[in-house]
Structure 1
């Protein structure tokens, strides 16, 4: 089955560093405006080199100190089930890149339990689902993220939802455990598609020629079962932020030169 989503746009940067800085500026602008109105902001982060690069770029911006971070809550679309101080852990990357430098209440960081904290992988997924539910609204068992950052793998995976696996089809839960992940480490916790797609804005950030094929398939409306990135969408906006090398197969009409 092929699903075709409307309102997908592509923003192209010349190189990874410039792209990260551009996304960071947009991120701080969006969060700053909402927090400036006294509203609570929920942001879902992602791991990987570009996820960290965007947060690092944000930490260097003069705008970062103008935001009331007490109104901002950080979550993760997925986490590797490793020890708390493992360099593979998305939380560790985000803390080092930005979070630890913010005037941010500890309770605003909603991290998924680590493997060295006494619980099982299933315990971690269940606890994260309960945490999400504690911020639910309108009958949903999760908050609506103002921004959901996602990386995209060369195989088209998002979060820890990989192609041709059962996790991508789960719609009756907020979280899912992933075992024997095709990409190490093997054990993970991931948000499900309904949670991701309830976000106001889904921002996918990807660079490199090895991502061009996945990006092209996602934009062409491939099956989300085969290309999970094709099934990621925001309720207000879905944007692929890419560099020139990843943009090789992007149709010109999808390039947004004003966003």
Structure 2
């Protein structure tokens, strides 16, 4: 009998957990997931609005640059945003834009005018203000959808990493930015990870997305993943682990995990329904 390459669990609150044996299998499944969301979004809305993060996420998206996706996806309908960005120049080594440009955007035919990076010539405060203004204009013309429940932008897909401390985007444990309700984009100047100045989507925007995917690999993510997923079915999260507070209002959350990051889950998965 061929060994399974993925184990999937599904909770009662539109939160699915997928566990992979290898990085290659994770990348393959992630590409297929993104492809399906893209095709549905283009068919239903005429656009696909996706927000990226930094870290290893772009590397996990590598299969999208290969056949069949590089030829079959309607790249002209893709609109690229960043759920977080470091307040550095676009050619800086720590720029999420640079990472995405080199590892993904330069390898697929996405239109340059559909890539919305932050203003790297402005202060971090002004960059956040400018970025929110851009998104508001695109919501007005429905290039980016809108949530009926809170009038927030409703991105078709937001892709996130999770840090060992449980942070997502640039929303760090116990940070005041976690409490923001009205802002779509905010800025921080005290990131515990360098560089200190960053812009980030707020939780209301993240939770308004139609689809959210969180990617986590490595033993150093195990505790944060376990804590966050154990509360997938709870109505309230904990600011000590911001990933716990990622709870889509009217969408779906999918975790993409390797076996190391999921090791605590696989040791006690009674809370989840095993999907074959």
Task: Say whether residues 1:23 and 2:30 are aligned partners.
Answer: yes
Say if 2:191 and 2:198, in contact at 8 Å, map to a contact too: yes
Alignment of structure 1 residues 1-259 onto 2, 5 Å: 6-36=13-43, 39-49=46-56, 51-114=57-120, 117=121, 119-136=122-139, 137=146, 142-221=152-231, 223-234=237-248, 235-250=250-265, 251-252=268-269, 253-254=271-272, 257=275
Unaligned runs of at least 5 residues, structure 2: 1-10, 140-145
Unaligned runs of at least 5 residues, structure 1: none
1:60-81 per-residue CA deviation (whole Å, 9 max, x = no partner) reads: 2322211221211111110001
Matched residue of 2:33: which SS?
Answer: helix
Q: Give 1:104 deviation, angstroms.
A: 2.1
Cα 1:102–1:47 shift into 2, 3 Å = same
More displaced stretch, 166-175 vs 247-256: 247-256
- Give the TM-score taking structure 2 as reference length: 0.84
Q: Equivalents in 1 of 2:88, 2:24: separation in Å?
A: 28
- Give the TM-score taking structure 1 as reference length: 0.90
1:159-213 per-residue CA deviation (whole Å, 9 max, x = no partner) reads: 0000011011111101111112001111100010010000011100000111110
Runs of 4+ in structure 1 displaced over 4 angstroms? 138-142
Please, what is the CA RMSD of the aligned residues?
Answer: 2.1
Q: Equivalents in 2 of 1:35, 1:105: separation in Å?
A: 15
Aligned length: 251
